[in-house]
Structure 1
Amino acid sequence: MLISLLDRSRTRAGESDAAAVATTVERAVRADRLGFHRFWTAEHHAVPGVASAAPAVLLAAIGARTRRIRIGTGGIMLPNHRPLVVAEQALLLEALYPGRVDLGLGGSLGFTPPIRRALGRTELGEGGYAADLDSVLAYLDGRAELTVRPRVPAPPVYLLAIADGLRLAAERGLPAVAGGPLLDDAAALAAYARDFRPVRADASPTLVVSVEVVVADTTERARELLLPEAWAFADSRDVGEFRPLRPVEEVRRLLAGARPKKVEAVQGWMRTAVAGTPEQVRARLEELVERTGASEVLASVSAVGRADVARTDEVLASLRTG
């Protein structure tokens, strides 16, 4: 399996945002040493539980501390930016770290209405995302009415399967990144492969599956380690924001008094994750790759304990075959 990491700079209760960002950089250095294929960062604005809002800036720091691993955005949300600026940032990173940069793009708006208003885009609008994507591609490929600097080879572009991203990826002949319930949608995944329109002779459908992964000595302990992230997801539906990760023991107490609908949301999120012993995780990931036809696993690891994250990283590194 080809395995990469997605780090969202998740904060923990009582931890500063600065500490979370610093930990992301140090984790990238460790991932480089362990031999991972890619290390991607994400974009989230004004979210209490996520410390990084500017993946390109964070990647500049990561690139300076690493030597081999590919670095990328998972992803930059096009509705929040002008296409020219996205292309400029990607090409500047490519100039700094040639042959190591990936540009992952998505079509999500800000998480809450105040964030959307602050970013200047409160709705996608018909054709807006597709038009922005086409503009970015034109700037990168040198087909636009102006030449973007620095003029260097364009990094590969990946589309996140959100906001019609899977269909757009097929139409534009781009690799796609899919996660969550979409991994069980055989029809949608098959449509991506069937409708893929190669823009180059050597292009073919390329699917990266994004999944939450935790490894522990027992299945029960691994599932416990998933609880804080699962709770944050379910809680976001009530409070309108992703909060910092809470200790497992606290989440257990909160679950004991939670409404059935919230417990169901926690359980539903956990069903989409991969958790267990090293042998169980290997089997689950191999099954996932076989079932979806994916070429790569993009793993998120959001356990509260940094040691648990490091342990999972080490196990995942031992599973990779590419």
Structure 2
Amino acid sequence: MSTVALSILDRANTRIVDGHTVSARQIFAEVTARAQAAEQLGYHRFWVAEHHSVPGIAGSAPTLLIPHVAAATSHIRLGTGGIMVPGHQPLVIAEQIGTLQALLGSRFDAGLGASVGFTKPVRAALRQPDNAKNSYPDDVDQLIAYLDGTGQITAYPQDDSQTDLFVLTGGGSAEFAAQRGMGLVLGGPAVTSGLKATPDTNASVAAYRENFATSPQRQQPPHVIASVNIAVAESHEAAKDLVLSEAWALTRSRSVGVFQPLEDPASIRLTHPSQQEQRRLDRALATTIYGTPNDVVEQIHQVLAYTQADEVMVTGNIWDPKKQLASDQLLIEAWRAAAG
């Protein structure tokens, strides 16, 4: 299984250094540097995300960030992880995809998500009705029609079904992706359940492959990507420090209602979490792959056995960008070594 491709999703997390939030300019420079390193190391894809009004994430406009990353790289595949369909008109998404296809050609993939704004004010600012998620299937169908040239109007630049499309899901949209002939990016328990001792495999993936359908316009093959937080260091404790910042930000978000910038793990270790916060932190860490190179490779194999995925997408951001780059390098070197 170590021949399975590795890719990266970078959310452009912000972080606190010396009591101040690092600027978005610096964060985007670090995202770009990570993409350059990923290309040199041999990662397959590098995707960027879309989040709105989140203090801890600078990545709000992936279709704007991708051309900047593309200018600093030459061949690694780039994509959106993802464009949140409920936040945009399908025609506008089609035009953005067509533009990126015209600029980047076959390097570009479009991951499509169904998430709405995290809070009511954000949803109002995005002009999302309360039932915005319900229109996701129809919106994606419209988007595909614009991209395939079968819509009521023509979207320019014309994509002509060249861009590979992926549905981001926890498993519930697997059948939808199969029926539309799109790739599948799995996250959450649909992936991390594989970290528990189980002889089972993910039923939604089996159903996806069984029901996959192409169309005359779209000949994209079935493809499953397992997306999971991963960090590697020379010791288990050092690796735990790498994932602690994001796990703590997620834990705190349950209490304060906001996903905040990543904090130095050294300062987090000095805190005294409540019992509830500790339980949440433990759950976050339990659904993260971290450890020494050999331990991480073993855990990834567990995930692949459960998901039967064609590719693994590394998610999660590390507070120290140098340690992020070191983790990326240790991971892919260990992965290649395991492949023999």
Give the structure-2-normalised TM-score: 0.88
SS of the residue 1:253 aligns to: coil
Matches within 5 A, 1:134-145: 134-145=141-152
What code does the residue aligned with 2:63 have? A
Match of 2:255 in 1: 238
The answer for the alignment partner of 1:8 in structure 2 is 11
Instruction: Assess if the C-alpha contact under 8 Å between 1:109 and 1:124 holds in 2.
Output: no
- Contact kept, 8 Å, 1:214 with 1:276, in 2: the verdict is yes
- Larger displacement relative to structure 2 (195-204 or 73-82): 195-204
Match of 1:190 among 179, 188, 206: 206
1:100 aligns with 2:116: no
Change (3 A) 1:297 1:126: closer
Unmatched segments (≥5 aa) in structure 2: 194-200
For residues 317 and 142 of structure 1, the distance between their equivalents in structure 2, rounded to whole angstroms, comes to 39
SS of aligned partner of 2:290: strand
1:74-85 aligned within 5 A: 74-85=81-92
Mean CA deviation greater in 147-156 or 226-235: 147-156
Change (3 A) 1:309 1:275: same
1:283-315 Cα distance to aligned partner (Å, 9 max, x none): 211221122100000002412111110111112
Match of 2:245 in 1: 228
Provide, for residues 18-75 of structure 1, a one-character-per-residue CA deviation record: whole Å limited to 9, x for no partner: 2111211121122122221100000001111101210000001111111100000000
Alpha-carbon distance, 1:165 to partner: 2.6
Shift of 1:222: 0.8
Work out which of the residue numbers 74, 78, 81 in structure 2 matches 1:71.
Answer: 78
In structure 1, runs of 5+ residues without a counterpart are none
Equivalent-residue separation in structure 1 for 2:288 and 2:189 (angstroms): 10
Instruction: State how 1:199-210 maps to structure 2 within 5 Å.
Output: 199=215, 204-210=221-227
Alignment partner of 1:59 out of 45, 61, 66: 66
Q: Work out whether residues 186 and 224 of structure 2, in 8 Å CA contact, stay in contact via their aligned partners in 1.
A: yes
User: For the Cα contact (< 8 Å) 2:246–2:262, is it kept in 1?
Assistant: yes
* Separation (CA, whole Å) in 2 of partners of 1:125 and 1:63: 32
Who is 1:160 aligned against? Answer: 168
> Matches of 1:193 and 1:270 in 2, distance apart?
31
Deviation at 1:162, TM superposition (A): 4.8
State how far apart, in whole Å, the 2-side matches of 1:310 and 1:92 are.
Answer: 30
> CA-to-partner distance for each residue in 1:260-282, whole Å, 9 max, x for gaps?
22211111111111101111111
Q: 1:272 aligns with which of 287, 290, 294?
A: 287
Task: Check conservation: 2:171, 2:204, Cα contact below 8 A.
Answer: no
Distance 1:192 1:262 in 2: 37
Residue of structure 2 equivalent to 1:249: 266
State whether residues 86 and 133 of structure 2, in contact with CA within 8 Å, keep that contact through their aligned partners in structure 1: no
| Contact 2:171–2:190 under 8 Å retained in 1 | no
Matched, 1:43 2:60: no
Give 1:121's aligned amino acid: Q
**1:34 is aligned to 2:51:** no
Question: 1: CA distance between counterparts of 2:236 and 2:119?
Answer: 35
Cα–Cα, structure 1 residues 82 and 12, in superposed 2: closer, same or farther, change >3 Å?
same
What is the alpha-carbon distance in structure 2 between the residues aligned to residue 94 and residue 202 of structure 1? 17
The structural deviation recorded for 1:174 is: 1.4
Structure 2 matches for 1:107-118, cutoff 5 A?
107-118=114-125
Q: Residues of 1 paired with 2:14 and 2:248: CA distance? A: 14
C-alpha distance after superposition, 1:220-245 (max 9, x if no partner) = 22112211111111111111111000
Aligned pair in 2 of structure 1 residues 118, 126: CA closer, same or farther (>3 Å)? Answer: closer
Please give the root-mean-square deviation of Cα atoms over the aligned residues, in Å: 1.9
Q: Is the 8 A contact 1:79 1:124 kept in 2?
A: no
**Alpha-carbon distance between aligned partners in 1 of 2:98 and 2:143, rounded to the nearest angstrom:** 11
TM normalised by structure 1 equals 0.93
Q: Secondary structure at the match of 2:13?
A: coil
Structure 1 Cα separation of the partners of residues 132 and 94 of structure 2: 22
